[in-house]
Amino acid sequence: MFDFCVVGGGMVGSAMALGLANMGFKIAMIEPNIPAPFEPEQPPDMRVSAISLTSEKLLREIGAWDDIKSMRLCPYKRLSVWDKPSCRTDFNCVDIGQPHLGNIIENRLVQLGLHTVIAATEVDCYKNLKVTSITTNECASVTLEDGQIIQAKVLIGADGGHSAVRKAANIGTQGWEYSQQALGIQIKTKDGQQDITWQQFTPDGPMAFLPLYDGFGSLVWYHKATDIQYLKSLSKAKLKQHVLQHFPAELVDFEVVDVASFPLTRMHANQYFKGNTVLIGDAAHTINPLAGQGVNLGFKDVAALLSVIREELAIYERSAVLEASRYGQWFTQYEAARRKDNLIMMSAMDLLYSTFSNNHMPLKLLRNLGLKLANHAGPIKNTAMKYAMGL
């Protein structure tokens, strides 16, 4: 019998499992798709995340940051957002007294770094095995495809937007799929590693650049699904020409390395827990990736849940903390700490998306004025920057 069973060993689930293991709990973690080991000569992956300073702090606290950093990452010190070149807002880490604003890291490497540390703990990892059934009675029970049955006092769903844990707990959701998709274009620039990430808004949707290590980079191009499919069908040379025709002049010379598309969805669970089951990360909420906040919200979930349990341990013995009568109390505290913040960020991204992705003249004038004023707002701009960085 485990204290906790974490279903999903991605970035958020692995951080949760490691944090709980550090507290001395008996943990099982299930991950059906273990990533390939890291080799320095490997090209960068398509899926990358902008890891905020607050997420970096959590990863340091649970002991995984050094292993992640030992592979590869790209700190970014500047961030720019604009509609047209004369109306832009520029952020710089110097203005808030930080060495950088965040790090662009391949998702796989964050996961691998966490798994490396987990391997040195007593966490029982069930790797490359799919979950076939889940029951969430007084004792949670998870059956794997090889017939193994895992039982735990508390079940944590960290298994993504199509969470089997959420469905087994009969927790409903609200949300929608956006009309646009995101095209990810991996590039190799002719310059060295950059320290700026930027995003330009157009009536057709945003276009963004995320710097990676050693001159690699990632472009994100929002577009209609039909246009995305057309762009994906092009040769690398022709796709480059389309990018050069549409992306801003800030983009340095480059070659296309790879391309992939991603659907855009918003989903929010109607509740974050039921009985002895609790949801974190994308199992509880998915967000428009406009500002790259998805995984950072998930890491905030982890930090909040760990904090609640840590406070319980300061008062009660470990066995008492895990009494069924206490689950509701600390799950309630966790949801109170996270639900409003997640909803605010989700709604803010939707507002930003709808405000900028159109060509309505009065609104266009207002948003351009807003960007100009924001760039000279001093303390207000810095406060907004700290909030976005999770500080």
- 176-232 confidence digits (pLDDT tens): 887 788 899 999 998 888 999 998 888 777 899 999 999 999 999 988 889 999 999
Mean model confidence pLDDT for the chain: 87
- pLDDT-derived band of residue 62, with 50, 70 and 90 as boundaries? very high
pLDDT at 169: 95
Each residue of 332-346: pLDDT tens digit?
A: 999 999 999 898 888
Q: Domains of the chain, with CATH numbers?
A: 2-73+106-175+266-356 (3.50.50.60)
Global pTM reads: 0.90
Q: Sheet containing 48-52: which strands, arranged edge to edge?
A: 48-52, 102-106, 74-76
Residue pair 273/335 in contact (Cβ under 8 Å)? The answer is: yes
User: Is the pLDDT reported for residue 64 higher than 70?
Assistant: yes
How does residue 291 score in pLDDT terms, banded at 50, 70 and 90?
low
